[in-house]
Structure 1
Amino acid sequence: MPITPDPTTPAGAAVLDLADLMDDLQERTGQWPGADTVSILEGWLHRFSFAIEENLTSQVTGRAWVLRRWDRHSDDVTLWSDKASALASLAQHVHSAWDDVAGEDGVPLRPPADDRKAVDLFYELRQDIEGYTLYDEDIARCVLAPRNPSLSDAEECAEANSTAVFHAMRGPDDEGLPCMEIAGILVFAYLDADREAVRVSVHLDTTDEQLVRADSTVPMVVEIEDTTVFDNLTPLPAPAQPTGWKARFRRLTRRPAPSGGGKCRQGG
């Protein structure tokens, strides 16, 4: 079945333009000379982009501490979830190699108990022989630009769940709080010293639009262990039907008024 190009679309208009170019070539030369045809097609194909755009976006999923330690025999890079762990690893090496500096220029025979002091003193004395760098970096991934998931579509829900991100604190001095993010919803869970409690806070201001209902609420169920503590999915119960004298009174008030405004007509 022949395909009719649609001139209202960019692709259809381009096909019709190519047909005009080839018809013009046919009229001028009586044929389609190879060199002329290649030249026409080359210019025509430049109007198109054949790159596959996945619409990827970079997403920060956490942070890691990068420790690089080198000496004359090795150059190692390791990743750590927090600065204290990286320093502890570095201090372990310092303790094992302390004999290399012990007793020199008043250096104690045993390393300081404080990891930070031990590391600083050791590498100050060994700066021409070995060293280290320690810094934090974002951990990122490239994902398809998130689309608004539908709660009725299991596949879309699974896709959204797989892109959930945990935002950890950088350290005790960080003013932020640990947070999980999914479909624009932010869930904070942390220890609250002021309330002396484990506190969970849900923020819905940036929720994906497709999850928001017509009444501007987000369907949600919150559970602790096996107990549901919040549920806005269950519709409100219908008002109870009145019984007894209340029902009788309501029936009386709904009776139609007598014709004539309630006045009795007199005969005669």
Structure 2
Amino acid sequence: MLIKPNPATPEGEAIIDLADLLDGLQESTGEWPGADTVDILGEWLSRFSFEVSEDFAQQATGRAWVLRQWDRHSDEVTLWADEASALAALAHGVRSSWDNVAGTDGAPYRPPADDRTAVDLYYGPIEERGDEDYVLFATEISRRVRPPLKLDLADFDACTLANSSAVFHAQEGPDGEGLPCIEVAGILVFSYLDADRGAVRVSVHLDTAAEELVRADTTVPIEVEIGDTTVFSNLTPPPPASPLTPGWRARIRRLARGVALHDNGRCREGG
């Protein structure tokens, strides 16, 4: 099957130009001399860019605490989900080596119960730490994701790609702002413990939903389930009815048996 270049596109126009150049060379020389052909192709190829398209988006997916500890014999780096966990791990090592500092420079003979205090007393002032020290800092965890070319709720692959790009945002420590939230396709779903109401709260925010998910009436198709029960749905048409509960099944069986007994009795009377 022959391919016909489309002159309305930049690529098609370039192919037609190349054909004209080679036809002109053929007419003037009766052939395609190697040197002339290479010059034509070289100049023609310079019109194109062969760079790989970088259509990945960088996305922050959370934070990690980086703990680096070193002394004369080792240098270790570990990652932790929060500062308290990193400090607890650091304090555990400090307490196991407490004999190194017990009774010196104001350090008690027994390590304090508080992790931060134990670490500070063990390592001492920064300028006096020498060969044994540590650093602890928070950093963002990022990834590069390729967004779907077209986000379509009826497209399994597009939905799978969007779901695999979901991000969880945790509250940043006991005093941090914000609430735990999962973000997918611009939709924010908060799930958290609410001390004021004494309840587990789930809150869905659709203001930043991807445009492709918004219907003509400005709503987003959504269905909310708790366990196996649908508690909210604005789908059109409505979803299929849930399977009958065991109570309904038992009632139908009783009704069916009653009808069968009635029919059998009528048949006997008729016989």
TM-score (norm 2): 0.80
Unpaired runs of 5+ residues, structure 2, are 239-271
Q: Map Cα deviations across residues 27-78 of structure 1 (whole Å, 9 max, x no partner).
A: 4444322222212211211211233325111111111111111111111110
For 1:201, which of 179, 200, 203 is the aligned residue? Answer: 203
For 2:229, which of 227, 230, 236 is the aligned residue? Answer: 227
Change over 3 Å in CA distance of 1:30–1:226 after alignment to 2? closer
In 1, Cα distance between equivalents of 2:179 and 2:148: 24
In 2, Cα distance between equivalents of 1:93 and 1:35: 73
8 A contact 2:107–2:122 mirrored in 1: no
Residue 162 of structure 1 deviates from its aligned partner by 1.6
- Structure number with the higher helix fraction is 2
Q: What letter matches 1:102 in structure 2?
A: A
Alignment of 1:104-115 (within 5 A): 104-115=104-115
8 A contact 1:219–1:232 mirrored in 2: yes
For 1:185, which of 165, 187, 194 is the aligned residue? Answer: 187
RMSD: 2.0
Change over 3 Å in CA distance of 1:147–1:38 after alignment to 2? closer
In 1, Cα distance between equivalents of 2:188 and 2:93: 40
In 2, Cα distance between equivalents of 1:170 and 1:162: 23
> 1:240 is matched with which residue?
none
Q: What letter matches 1:49 in structure 2?
A: S
Alignment of 1:1-268 (within 5 A): 1-53=1-53, 55-124=55-124, 127-233=129-235
Change over 3 Å in CA distance of 1:177–1:146 after alignment to 2? farther
Change over 3 Å in CA distance of 1:226–1:23 after alignment to 2? closer
Change over 3 Å in CA distance of 1:16–1:72 after alignment to 2? same
Change over 3 Å in CA distance of 1:37–1:77 after alignment to 2? same
Q: Map Cα deviations across residues 83-130 of structure 1 (whole Å, 9 max, x no partner).
A: 000000000110011111112233211112211011111112661021
In 1, Cα distance between equivalents of 2:189 and 2:221: 15
8 A contact 2:215–2:221 mirrored in 1: yes
Q: What letter matches 2:173 in structure 1?
A: G
Amino-acid identity (%): 65
Deviating more after overlay: 209-218 vs 85-94: 209-218
Residue 14 of structure 1 deviates from its aligned partner by 0.6
In 2, Cα distance between equivalents of 1:141 and 1:11: 34
8 A contact 1:54–1:144 mirrored in 2: no
Q: What letter matches 1:25 in structure 2?
A: L
Residue 231 of structure 1 deviates from its aligned partner by 1.7
Q: Secondary structure at the match of 2:20?
A: helix
Structure with higher Rg: it is: 1
8 A contact 1:148–1:183 mirrored in 2: no
Change over 3 Å in CA distance of 1:145–1:234 after alignment to 2? closer
In 2, Cα distance between equivalents of 1:74 and 1:122: 17
8 A contact 1:148–1:209 mirrored in 2: no
Aligned residues: 236
Q: What letter matches 2:159 in structure 1?
A: C
In 1, Cα distance between equivalents of 2:229 and 2:16: 66
Unpaired runs of 5+ residues, structure 1, are 237-268
Residue 3 of structure 1 deviates from its aligned partner by 3.1
8 A contact 2:60–2:143 mirrored in 1: yes
